[in-house]
Structure 1
Amino acid sequence: MHNNMTNKTAIAVAIAMSLGLSACDSDDDKQTDPVQVELRLLETSDLHANIMDYDYYKPDETAATEKIGLVRTASLIEAAGAEVSNFVLVDNGDLIQGSPMGDYMADKGLVMGDVHPVYKAMNTLGYSVGNIGNHEFNYGLDYLENALAGANFPYINANVLCQADCWDGKTAGENLFTPYIIEEKTVIDSNGDQQVVKIGYIGFVPPQILLWDKQNLTDRVIVADIVKTAEKFVPMMKAEGADVIVAIPHSGVGSHTAPADAMAENATHTLSTVEGIDAIMFGHSHSVFPSALFADVSNADIEKGTLNGVAAVMPGRWGDNLGLIDLTLEMQDDKWVVIDRQAEARPIYTKADGSLAERHQGVVDAVAMEHEATKEFVNQPIGVASADMYSFLTLVQDDPSVQIVSDAQIEYVSAKLPPELADLPVLSASAPFKAGGRHSTADDASSYVQVPQGPLTFKNAADLYLYPNTVVALKVTGAEVADWLECSANMFNQIDPSSTEPQYLVNWDTHRTYNFDVIDGVTYKVDVTQPNKFDGDCAVANADAQRIVDLTFTDGEGNMFTGAELASKEFIIASNNYRAFGGKFAGTGSDYVVLELPDTNREALAQYITSESEPNDAGGYDSAVNPEADANWDFKTIDTTVALDVRFETANTDVADTFITDNMKRTLTKLPEPDALGFAVYQIDLAN
């Protein structure tokens, strides 16, 4: 009996000790196991009024697409949000301009109280904040003010300051927009409890808006450097209690080799070094980060999606990707600290898998009226063309889709020159805006001008000239024309004339197709065996290099000007406000501008098409605009003793195949397999 009681007591004590120890262990674990929060950040950027999954430049029966449109991205937003307990959604800007729907709304006009269709769509998706992009200023500050009033979420921008005549009673030196906001976000932590995380958002725009939209912004705003502005405001945000700071720069990656460049257009890499920034959701350059495109960027971790250790994402353009950053926050010393991060861009479509996102019916319904109105708007007739205008060959030979723009610009400017300039020859600088995008996404493989011969509508003019730039003329010398073209020739990689290995001609990495200016009114050749004189920013790379050869101007009497005589001769160049005031190419900048005109280049193009198309009483036309390229430029034939294998990429369609076969100036051979993005690859004979 005694032994039995003793055993029971021993067992009871052992159990009690065990329970006590377990309880202590649990308490200790609870005390030492820190509270964590998983926070997901989602981003759209560079939508450019592409709300619908519809290409307004194509006939209605082929216009539906699975590759673009917020209507598709919205489904990814909902799916990504449903995967987690805590998420926020931001937009980076370049929102109200860039598609025919944006054109339609600008033509229709906005008054206070109207809601722009981009906001009708976005207001259904729960955005926390929007940032101002550079194209928000294209239609002027009054239009922008009316548009922003339709958003049911706040807007930020920290580096645009009022100069004069600003809204909301702002005075000189004040921020035109709210520089940053701090959102008190209720979240669910790792224990299932509610917490509050204060998320600070700060936005930026390239300082170059003062050049690109000079006519809308001169004497009204000033713009500060992105990085210096961040260094000013981020400590203030921390002092006001921001637990997490999310920078939303409408700015590309930029240079990691010259981080001190002030007023840089693309400053994200340097911005990631500003202390206190936890995540960067960027845009502007229409690329995808993280991706293999940026594998060689210093301190970029493509697997984690970081720049200098800071989570960063850029979601392409037109809604083709959704940006996503996952942050793990941990409570340390009564403060939230980011202990882990992961970024990715989720596509709505890939070549391998096809569509990855369904249409979002709520967005479809929100813009149904404007969608139909846009289709009517772009189908207004303006004339007729005698030949196809496709841009499949625009990077390898003179091209009708660029030629017709040059012809229109020359005629428009020539008719408006003041008497003191009327005797100067008028040239035109035009670039292909749709010629394979940036060769970075599957959708780029279909980004080409495709305007067939026959009746033309406003949609065709908008396809030929994508942006709402205005016409500007500059006075330059022949020497500046030569250097202008030297910078343009950065479009091409240097070709080794002694190599039999495959060599790719087009420089997709550091030169955009919209910077590949063809100057009409002169003739010239490009020697791609030579190094570039200038880099993609028109900074001198090789001062003694010369790619532009045989540059010649022939006047109306047949007199030819070359060499020193041409270099000293004066010309007028018809261009656009973006190029004219950019100051990047030789002969550009305010000092060279002699004529600023109110009409857009697209309007000048439409007027030219109409003037060349003579209607008849039968409802047809007795004459048509002729866009045939005049072949004023070519490559210099390469003198070599080996079999060169020079290649370039273009569209991979039956229409492209036929056009290329019928119109090629040099021998072009299509290779059997497209590249990884779906582009056709051609060999071009530069030796004959």
Structure 2
Amino acid sequence: MLRTLILLVTGLLLMTAQAATLQLRVLETTDLHVNIMDFDYYKDRPTDQYGLVRGATLIRQARDEVANSLLVDNGDLLQGSPMGDYGVSRSGEEGWVHPAYKVMNLMGYDVANLGNHDFNYGLDYLRKALQGAEFPAISANVLDASTGDHVFEPYLIKPCVFTDTAGNEQPLKVGFIGFLPPQIMRWDREHLEGVVTAQDIVETATTLVPKMRAEGADIVIALSHSGFHSEPHEPMAEQAVNGLSQVPGIDAIVMGHAHKVFPGPVFENDTGVDIKRGTINGVPAVMPGFWGNHIGVIDLTLEKHTSGWRVVDSHSEARPLTGPDHKPRVEADAELVAVLAEDHEGTRAFVGRPIGEACSEIYSYLALIQDDPSIQIVNDAQIDYVRRAVRDNDALNALPILAVSAPFKAGGQRDPANYTEVEKGQLSFRNAVDLYPFPNTLVVLKITGAELKEWLECAAGQFNQIDPSSGEPQMLIDNRFPNHNFDVIDGVEYQIDVTQPARYDDHCRLIHLEAERIKALSWQGQPVNPEKHFLVAANNYRAYGGKFAGTGAESVVFASPEENRDILADYIQRQTRDQGFVCAAADHNWRLAPITNPALDLRFETSPSAKAERFIEAHARHGMTFLHENDDGFAVHRVAFH
């Protein structure tokens, strides 16, 4: 009996000696898009709504709260603001370090994942920029097209020493593995085709996570530049976190790409999601918005047993830079602001170069409900470019030339300040970038009239279906539909009947076979023949994407090496040279079909600014009555279509 008791006590003592509890905080930034400074370079003024220099203060506070922390970035770092373009312009200089890495090196990042937009300027530039990072960059599902080897390190196993809850030091090998959307092969085809291949995220994780465990990783954190939806995983999915969360051996997931906030109310009804704890299928997860407007925080409680470390509890949250009243909660980190001083002023000068004169204001306040000057000028420039490019091509120059663009800045991301605002008078490159923020290149597609109609049907999915007999308030715009998918095609005329159900969802998947929103589609006053061919000037992202009808590599007839926004800037310069100014007046080639119900109460949200009010009064093609400013800061108007 005594011997049994001694053995039992000894065993308990050994278990106690072996057991340990460790609290580990994982901090994430993602989708910064070179918004390192708290500055809006499009409007040339400071902002307190985003910027890593402000996020750094939140990160410092979050680190000070705990004994153990790690800091990661989840991609889409190098492209997306004028500072990114400025970085490209300086990258050939001796000793150049990308502005983002100047700051992140000082902040002490542990590892960074790559996102799809980090490939927008090409692999050579990406590699050059990464030379300035004093921390590893990983990407597991991008392979060399010739050898099948990983182009970047697929994962990192980092030996760390942390302090447990008893005050003892504990060694812990933390594994990080990075993923990005395999769609980069379409989106950046001109840079990547024949050079790399991209693999399915979940398949890659299923192969490599066990390998990481075998190599000694105590825990595995997935850096997934991919978002979440609750549908079952499909091969090569863009939003793959649902499937990724079900891969054995992954202890936590930091997300990105979708520019959403998780945990958050938008996900509360999704299967497998626990909003309170911040888990997906039981796995701790976080996604902190975009542009540094949030930081991601995952708190893990680890217990050490004879079998190793195990996550026994967790909590996730996305901490915002601003409060519910949109007022800042923190100030910028003064040291980081000082480090960026030269690059900041350099960026301002870079985008401040004059390129022409505008005969009127170019605002996007109404771009979602009527034809709009901010889209018109982009499409005018694209049509002009293609007309000159195919002038001597007998196979193409007889075909009608159309152009497509979308409202890149029309209140997207639920931001009432996110609108294009180009003033009358002198134009600079800043204005061209405001009108066209991305370094896309121009690509020409050859499509049929039937494909043209289906393309427009998918774009028309941005509208809610309206009950024409109701007098109750109805919102015109479905805020779940991305603004950048609301394609406007110039060169034809059409109407959109919002009383009909959407034919397609926001992924251009057919959902109502009999539905038709596009009415009176015509070219030069005649109904469009479904078999007639058209040229469509688009960007490479749209052209190769394959989502909209008529898109995909098989439809491409001409690919320009020039960026769409450089084409726009050149158009502005030539118009100004030839006639003293450029005019961007909308030609109103599309409209919402009239609804004959005087009691109809349709609602539309736009900027609350006095400038927007004046523009609406002067240019709205429908009667609009201001009602109130909502909790998100948008001005809500009643719109009359009768």
Counterpart in 1 of 2:21? 36
Alpha carbons 2:90, 2:96 under 8 Å: kept? no
Distance in 1, matches of 2:433 and 2:592, equals: 29
Note the alpha carbon deviations across 1:186-212, whole angstroms, 9 max, x for none.
111010000012111000111111111
Note the alpha carbon deviations across 1:388-415, whole angstroms, 9 max, x for none.
1111100011000000000000001111
Counterpart in 1 of 2:187? 212
The alignment partner of 1:41 has SS state of: strand
Relative to structure 1, is the Cα distance of residues 643 and 33 closer, same or farther in structure 2, using a 3 angstrom cutoff?
farther
Note the alpha carbon deviations across 1:540-590, whole angstroms, 9 max, x for none.
111221000011100xxxxx3215xx2111110001000000000001000
Counterpart in 2 of 1:634? 591
Counterpart in 2 of 1:12? none
Superposition deviation, residue 507 in structure 1: 1.3
The alignment partner of 1:114 has SS state of: coil
Counterpart in 1 of 2:4? none
Q: Which amino acid aligns with 1:479?
A: A
Q: Which runs of 5+ in 1 are unaligned?
A: 1-23, 165-171, 555-559, 616-621
Superposition deviation, residue 108 in structure 1: 3.1
Question: Which of 381, 406, 414 is residue 387 of structure 2 equivalent to?
Answer: 414
Superposition deviation, residue 504 in structure 1: 1.2
Q: Which amino acid aligns with 1:577?
A: N
The alignment partner of 2:212 has SS state of: helix
Superposition deviation, residue 35 in structure 1: 1.9
Alpha carbons 1:646, 1:683 under 8 Å: kept? yes
1:180-195 superposed matches below 5 A? 180-195=155-170
Q: Which amino acid aligns with 1:492?
A: F
Q: In the alignment, is residue 432 of structure 1 matched against residue 432 of structure 2?
A: no
Distance in 2, matches of 1:427 and 1:75, equals: 48
Distance in 2, matches of 1:155 and 1:144, equals: 11
Counterpart in 1 of 2:449? 478
Q: Which amino acid aligns with 1:494?
A: Q
1:106-255 superposed matches below 5 A? 106-110=88-92, 113-164=95-146, 172-254=147-229
Note the alpha carbon deviations across 1:659-686, whole angstroms, 9 max, x for none.
11111000111112x2221111111113
Q: In the alignment, is residue 367 of structure 1 matched against residue 340 of structure 2?
A: yes
Distance in 1, matches of 2:21 and 2:177, equals: 24
The alignment partner of 1:135 has SS state of: helix
Counterpart in 1 of 2:3? none
Superposition deviation, residue 508 in structure 1: 1.5
Note the alpha carbon deviations across 1:91-123, whole angstroms, 9 max, x for none.
001111111010111133346742111101110
Superposition deviation, residue 333 in structure 1: 2.5
Aligned residues: 631
Alpha carbons 2:508, 2:547 under 8 Å: kept? yes
Alpha carbons 1:110, 1:143 under 8 Å: kept? no
Q: In the alignment, is residue 561 of structure 1 matched against residue 526 of structure 2?
A: yes
Superposition deviation, residue 159 in structure 1: 0.2
Q: Which amino acid aligns with 1:100?
A: P
Distance in 2, matches of 1:394 and 1:74, equals: 35
Q: Which amino acid aligns with 1:597?
A: S
Relative to structure 1, is the Cα distance of residues 392 and 351 closer, same or farther in structure 2, using a 3 angstrom cutoff?
farther
Question: Which of 570, 575, 591 is residue 538 of structure 2 equivalent to?
Answer: 575
Q: Which amino acid aligns with 1:572?
A: L
Counterpart in 2 of 1:14? none
Question: Which of 269, 288, 300 is residue 273 of structure 2 equivalent to?
Answer: 300
Q: Which amino acid aligns with 1:271?
A: L
Q: Which runs of 4+ in 1 moved over 4 A?
A: 27-30
Distance in 1, matches of 2:95 and 2:202, equals: 35
Question: Which of 285, 301, 318 is residue 291 of structure 2 equivalent to?
Answer: 318
Q: Which runs of 5+ in 2 are unaligned?
A: 1-8
Superposition deviation, residue 382 in structure 1: 0.2
Distance in 1, matches of 2:205 and 2:93, equals: 34
Counterpart in 2 of 1:618? none
Distance in 2, matches of 1:31 and 1:300, equals: 35
Q: CA RMSD in A?
A: 1.7
Superposition deviation, residue 237 in structure 1: 1.2
Alpha carbons 2:18, 2:305 under 8 Å: kept? no
* Larger Rg belongs to: 1
Distance in 2, matches of 1:33 and 1:118, equals: 42
Note the alpha carbon deviations across 1:69-90, whole angstroms, 9 max, x for none.
1110011111100000000000
Alpha carbons 1:523, 1:552 under 8 Å: kept? yes
Distance in 2, matches of 1:136 and 1:550, equals: 41
Superposition deviation, residue 351 in structure 1: 4.3
Superposition deviation, residue 419 in structure 1: 2.5
Superposition deviation, residue 28 in structure 1: 6.7
Relative to structure 1, is the Cα distance of residues 291 and 569 closer, same or farther in structure 2, using a 3 angstrom cutoff?
same
Question: Which of 656, 665, 672 is residue 621 of structure 2 equivalent to?
Answer: 665
Alpha carbons 1:351, 1:678 under 8 Å: kept? no
Relative to structure 1, is the Cα distance of residues 110 and 77 closer, same or farther in structure 2, using a 3 angstrom cutoff?
farther
Alpha carbons 2:31, 2:289 under 8 Å: kept? yes
Question: Which of 593, 599, 616 is residue 556 of structure 2 equivalent to?
Answer: 593
The alignment partner of 1:403 has SS state of: helix
Superposition deviation, residue 539 in structure 1: 1.1
Counterpart in 1 of 2:608? 652
Superposition deviation, residue 654 in structure 1: 1.0
Distance in 2, matches of 1:594 and 1:353, equals: 47
Superposition deviation, residue 533 in structure 1: 1.1
Counterpart in 2 of 1:678? 633
The alignment partner of 1:342 has SS state of: strand
1:495-506 superposed matches below 5 A? 495-506=466-477
Relative to structure 1, is the Cα distance of residues 382 and 328 closer, same or farther in structure 2, using a 3 angstrom cutoff?
same
Q: In the alignment, is residue 290 of structure 1 matched against residue 263 of structure 2?
A: yes
Counterpart in 2 of 1:64? 46
Q: In the alignment, is residue 451 of structure 1 matched against residue 422 of structure 2?
A: yes
Q: Which amino acid aligns with 2:563?
A: T
Distance in 2, matches of 1:648 and 1:32, equals: 64
Q: Which amino acid aligns with 2:34?
A: A
Distance in 1, matches of 2:203 and 2:456, equals: 34
TM-score, with structure 2 as normaliser: 0.96
Distance in 2, matches of 1:470 and 1:408, equals: 13
The alignment partner of 2:157 has SS state of: strand
Distance in 2, matches of 1:507 and 1:302, equals: 23
Superposition deviation, residue 496 in structure 1: 1.4
Relative to structure 1, is the Cα distance of residues 29 and 143 closer, same or farther in structure 2, using a 3 angstrom cutoff?
closer
TM-score, with structure 1 as normaliser: 0.90
Superposition deviation, residue 637 in structure 1: 1.0
Distance in 1, matches of 2:585 and 2:244, equals: 47
Question: Which of 557, 565, 571 is residue 602 of structure 1 equivalent to?
Answer: 565
Superposition deviation, residue 241 in structure 1: 1.9
Distance in 2, matches of 1:527 and 1:475, equals: 26
Alpha carbons 1:113, 1:149 under 8 Å: kept? no
Q: Which amino acid aligns with 1:613?
A: T
Superposition deviation, residue 334 in structure 1: 4.2
Distance in 1, matches of 2:610 and 2:436, equals: 24
Distance in 2, matches of 1:435 and 1:505, equals: 14
Question: Which range moved further: 359-368 or 129-138?
Answer: 359-368
Distance in 1, matches of 2:93 and 2:212, equals: 34
Alpha carbons 1:114, 1:146 under 8 Å: kept? no
Q: Which amino acid aligns with 1:627?
A: A
Relative to structure 1, is the Cα distance of residues 603 and 353 closer, same or farther in structure 2, using a 3 angstrom cutoff?
closer
Superposition deviation, residue 500 in structure 1: 2.3
Superposition deviation, residue 532 in structure 1: 1.1
Alpha carbons 1:113, 1:146 under 8 Å: kept? no
Q: In the alignment, is residue 531 of structure 1 matched against residue 501 of structure 2?
A: yes
Question: Which of 3, 25, 30 is residue 45 of structure 1 equivalent to?
Answer: 30
Superposition deviation, residue 36 in structure 1: 0.7
Alpha carbons 1:100, 1:378 under 8 Å: kept? yes
Q: Which amino acid aligns with 1:453?
A: K
Alpha carbons 2:364, 2:407 under 8 Å: kept? yes
Relative to structure 1, is the Cα distance of residues 97 and 309 closer, same or farther in structure 2, using a 3 angstrom cutoff?
same
Q: In the alignment, is residue 100 of structure 1 matched against residue 82 of structure 2?
A: yes
The alignment partner of 2:442 has SS state of: strand
Distance in 2, matches of 1:304 and 1:260, equals: 23
Distance in 2, matches of 1:592 and 1:112, equals: 42
Superposition deviation, residue 639 in structure 1: 3.6
Q: Which amino acid aligns with 2:135?
A: F
